[in-house]
């Protein structure tokens, strides 16, 4: 077989990687190249170096080592039975691309994944080798995200954690039943075991760091940006409730930094039992909002589901507002007296606005006229709060409150 030119391989292997939503380069330790002959720095929020017209950030060089795959997961463009063109990079080529892109400031680093070739261990070894070359041979200090191949041996996972900032194992589908029918070679048990292995690595490294005798002693390194996972939304019949239940269980068990929700998007050469529908982008967005409510706003899954209908989140309004409309007896709240936990539940107030309000009210009562300086969504907040010079009166309980926020109904296009 003749070797494909690098440009052609790049086209195939980037195209094959684009269904992984994560491109984050955040959450890792601060480090930089000062004083070295190498390049690379990380820390803070991470940087999105470009945006594709699909609105997604391009932060990392996100590619597969190869899109050959012995698995046959039906939602995946790279499944064995798909007729997409195949290609394979060797580790040196990936290293070269990463460094070339990085030096031109196109990227924050590399996100490397792969189809399963030969065996899980062989595949994982190849991924680890790329990361090792970058770190050891090229003194690369940028961000590295490696996919952990579910079922790879714990020793390889440990080595991956040594070089990578982040590791991720995709659970793919929210329920075991979904996985069984769509990804016959994968089992959620193997996936969870792999994530458990990563968590044990994270725990052990944290434990060892705490146990150092000297603060200056070097802390052991294991994936400082933690681990993440991805679930595909809309490929199987899972409801939002199932998805959030799965997410809360994963967050609690494996110290995940993020669960990514990826709207199933039609792929070329799709399997016959997947309808080539428009990806459910709003649903994906609502799931992210619900995920944020779980992690940063003190909501429980059952509370979020109070604003849902039969286990599905409301698509027209956001989940916090949907909850508040069901719980009007809790409102309005006094912006100058309510505890932080209650402010976080006011529709329209984000975590930053809440901090600003708390800071401002220490130095004097917050009045209606001050609100615009503290939050961008005054109109949304008004029915749910009081200030010394504002009471919503009957607004909080008015029957058409929902209509105030829901976008006006659109007439169906007849051209369809």
Find the binding residues for another protein in span 160-199 (CB under 8 A).
Answer: 176, 184-185, 188-189, 192-193, 195-197, 199
Residue 237 engages another protein in binding (rule: CB under 8 A): no
**Beta strand spans in 83-211 (E):** 109-113, 143-147, 166-168
CB-wise, 162 or 281, nearer to another protein?
Answer: 281
Which residues in the 59-78 window bind another protein by CB under 8 A? 61-63, 68-72
The region, left, alpha or beta by phi > 0 then psi within -120 to 50, assigned to residue 105 is left
Name the segment binding another protein (CB under 8 A); options: 54-62, 214-222, 380-388, 405-413: 54-62
Which residues in the 242-281 window bind another protein by CB under 8 A? 248-249, 251-253, 255, 263, 265-272, 276, 278-279, 281
Residue 386 pairs in a beta bridge with 334
Tracing tokens 């799965």 back to the chain, one arrives at 246
CB-wise, 250 or 325, nearer to another protein?
Answer: 250
Residue 55 engages another protein in binding (rule: CB under 8 A): yes
**In terms of C-beta density within 10 A (0-12 exposed, 13-18 middle, 19 or more buried), how is residue 178 classed?**
buried
Name the segment binding another protein (CB under 8 A); options: 30-38, 124-132, 157-165, 318-326: 30-38
Distance separating alpha carbons of residues 392 and 73, to the nearest angstrom? 53
Which residues in the 135-154 window bind another protein by CB under 8 A? 139
Q: Which helix (H) or strand (E) is 361 found in, with range?
A: helix 351-362
Tracing tokens 């030969």 back to the chain, one arrives at 118
Which residues in the 340-359 window bind another protein by CB under 8 A? 356, 359
CB-wise, 46 or 401, nearer to another protein?
Answer: 46
Residue 18 engages another protein in binding (rule: CB under 8 A): yes
Among 101, 143, 260, 299, binds another protein (CB under 8 A): 101
The region, left, alpha or beta by phi > 0 then psi within -120 to 50, assigned to residue 282 is alpha
CB-wise, 298 or 393, nearer to another protein?
Answer: 298
3-state secondary structure of 20: coil
CB-wise, 61 or 167, nearer to another protein?
Answer: 61
Least distance between another protein and beta carbon 327 (Å): 21
Residue 405 engages another protein in binding (rule: CB under 8 A): no
State how far the alpha carbon of 25 is from the alpha carbons of 161, 259, 281, in Å.
16, 15, 23
Residue 97 engages another protein in binding (rule: CB under 8 A): yes
Q: What are phi and psi of 312, to 5 degrees?
A: -115, 135
**Selection from 42, 28, 162 nearest residue 102 by Cα:** 42
Which residues in the 358-377 window bind another protein by CB under 8 A? 359-360, 362-364, 366, 370, 373-374
Distance separating alpha carbons of residues 201 and 392, to the nearest angstrom? 52
Residue 413 engages another protein in binding (rule: CB under 8 A): no
**Interstrand relation of 109-113 and 227-233 (parallel, antiparallel or unpaired):** unpaired
Least distance between another protein and beta carbon 17 (Å): 7
Residue 109 pairs in a beta bridge with 60, 143
Among 27, 40, 109, 332, binds another protein (CB under 8 A): 40
């Amino acid at each position: 077989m003749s070797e494909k030119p690098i440009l052609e391989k790049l086209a195939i292997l980037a195209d094959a990687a684009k269904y992984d939503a994560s491109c984050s380069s955040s959450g890792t330790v601060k480090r930089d190249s000062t004083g070295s002959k190498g390049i690379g720095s990380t820390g803070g929020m991470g940087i999105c170096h470009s945006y594709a017209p699909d609105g997604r950030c391009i932060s990392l060089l996100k590619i597969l080592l190869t899109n050959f795959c012995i698995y046959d997961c039906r939602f995946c463009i790279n499944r064995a039975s798909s007729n997409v063109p195949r290609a394979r990079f060797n580790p040196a080529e990936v290293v070269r691309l990463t460094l070339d892109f990085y030096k031109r400031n196109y990227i924050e680093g590399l996100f490397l994944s792969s189809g399963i070739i030969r065996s899980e261990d062989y595949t994982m070894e190849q991924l680890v080798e790329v990361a090792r070359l970058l770190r050891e041979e090229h003194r690369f200090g940028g961000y590295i995200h490696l996919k952990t191949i579910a079922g790879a041996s714990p020793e390889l996972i440990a080595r991956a954690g040594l070089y990578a900032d982040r590791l991720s194992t995709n659970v793919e589908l929210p329920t075991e039943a979904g996985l069984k029918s769509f990804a016959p070679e994968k089992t959620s048990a193997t996936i969870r075991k792999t994530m458990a292995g990563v968590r044990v690595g994270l725990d052990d490294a944290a434990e060892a760091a705490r146990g150092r005798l000297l603060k200056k002693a070097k802390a052991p390194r294991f994936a400082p940006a933690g681990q993440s996972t991805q679930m595909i939304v809309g490929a199987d019949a899972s409801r939002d409730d199932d998805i959030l239940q799965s997410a809360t269980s994963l967050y609690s068990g494996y110290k995940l930094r993020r669960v990514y929700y990826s709207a199933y998007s039609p792929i070329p050469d799709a399997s016959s039992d997947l309808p080539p529908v428009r990806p459910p982008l709003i649903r994906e967005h609502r799931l992210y909002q619900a995920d944020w409510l779980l992690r940063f706003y003190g909501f429980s899954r059952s509370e979020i589901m109070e604003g849902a209908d039969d286990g599905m989140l409301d698509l027209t309004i956001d989940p916090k507002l949907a909850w508040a409309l069901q719980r009007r007896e809790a409102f309005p709240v006094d912006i100058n007296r309510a505890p932080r936990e209650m402010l976080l539940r006011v529709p329209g107030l984000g975590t930053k606005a809440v901090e600003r309000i708390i800071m401002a009210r220490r130095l004097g009562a917050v009045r209606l006229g001050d609100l615009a300086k503290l939050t961008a969504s005054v109109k949304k907040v008004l029915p749910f709060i009081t200030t010394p010079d504002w009471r919503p009166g009957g607004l909080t309980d008015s029957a058409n409150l929902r209509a105030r926020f829901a976008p006006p109904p659109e007439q169906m296009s007849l051209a369809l």
